[in-house]
Amino acid sequence: MTKLSVNINKIATLRNARGGNMPDLLKVATDIERFGGQGITIHPRPDERHIRYQDAFDLMKVVKTEYNIEGNPIPKFIDMVLQIQPTQVTLVPDAEDAITSNAGWDTVKHRHFLQEVIQEFKRNNIRCSIFVDPDVKMIEGAKATGTDRIELYTESFASGFAQDHIKCIEPYVAAAETAHKLGLGINAGHDLSLQNIAFFAQHIPNLLEVSIGHALICESIYLGLENVIQMYLQKLQVS
């Protein structure tokens, strides 16, 4: 079954809006696991506008499932990940001023840089994943970096889902098939939701993990966090 890792950035955004510690990020992470979530994802950015670097260290003490830290591998990020040694690090090429992730790596252009970073993480027994667009050439380039997994950037699938869900899934199927043939694990994330997750999971072969944050938290406002976690797990069981 595809694992569900819940991105808790939006919980930190809400906390930071008023200062203090409400909602309690650590308690939410613990509750997510108690409700059935199979991983916790965070994406700290240099300006710490949601997840703070200290949060990453604090969460290390409470996360009992898989702990996934995403981010652009600038020196501060690399040092933090090496100290924490999470289950997985996901490398994302987002600019410091980006509102959210908006593109995958050019794995051909940045191959040597990614190789160096990934080698350092793997020497420390940290599983590596890199954020990529559903482009077969980029998947092949990812293999050359030495990464363990890729994370398919699913924004184009999510934005086109209502208009033509068959057409928008095709490049992801091709990317996943290529990745599997090359021996790469397959993760996915960005704008996946209760509306599109079942279709995506059913059509993407060998999908190991999805990371979902914004939609899941928004849906939880209406439906309740425990209920939404269970709804995602039910939809992923059919994959």
In the annotation, is 190 catalytic? yes
Residue from 33, 43, 151, 209 carrying the catalytic annotation: 43
For residue 43, indicate whether it is catalytic: yes
Out of 33, 50, 66, 70, pick the active-site residue. Answer: 70
Catalytic site residue from 50, 151, 190, 219: 190
> Cα separation of 153 and 133, whole Å?
5
Cα–Cα nearest to 90, from 76, 109, 104, 108: 104
Give the residue numbers annotated as catalytic, written as ranges: 43, 70, 190
